[in-house]
Amino acid sequence: DEHYSDWHPEHLAWRTLRGEPLAKGTVWFADEWVGPLRVSSRFFVEDAEPGRFFAYRVGFPSSLVRAGGSFRLVPGPGGCVLIEEVRLGFAIPVIGRLIDRLLAIVLPIDEFRRHIREEGENLAGLLASPAVR
């Protein structure tokens, strides 16, 4: 919780509301900017492997666009690889494609990509820092 704002300059606040950090069943609140869009919502951990993986879904209002994602750490020689996945959109035949195209017009998708890339770079630096350990 204490390093959330260190992770990215657009991160404003994070509070674990229920559960152990990043364990299945955990609920947290996060508030951040993604370019011009402010994302402020509850997040629900749906699956987790401690120290390796967690998947989440985002609460209302982001749940209206079926927002969710996951973080996975894959060990490798000399370190690990971080895989961050973010999902938005609908898996409904025909209508889902139309809604997804509308979301691509309305949401700042390039800003989400930039933000996620920067989160990965910043997280690598934080994890390598002795102050975080």
Q: Per-residue pLDDT tens for 34-58?
A: 889 898 899 999 999 988 999 999 9
DSSP category for residue 64? G
**DSSP H/E element including 41:** strand 37-49
For the residues 80-90, what does the mean pLDDT come to?
Answer: 80
Q: Is residue 76 scored above 70 in pLDDT?
A: yes
pTM of the model: 0.78
Q: What are phi and psi of 80, to 5 degrees?
A: -150, 170
With CA atoms as reference, report the closest residue to 84 among 73, 75, 93. Answer: 73
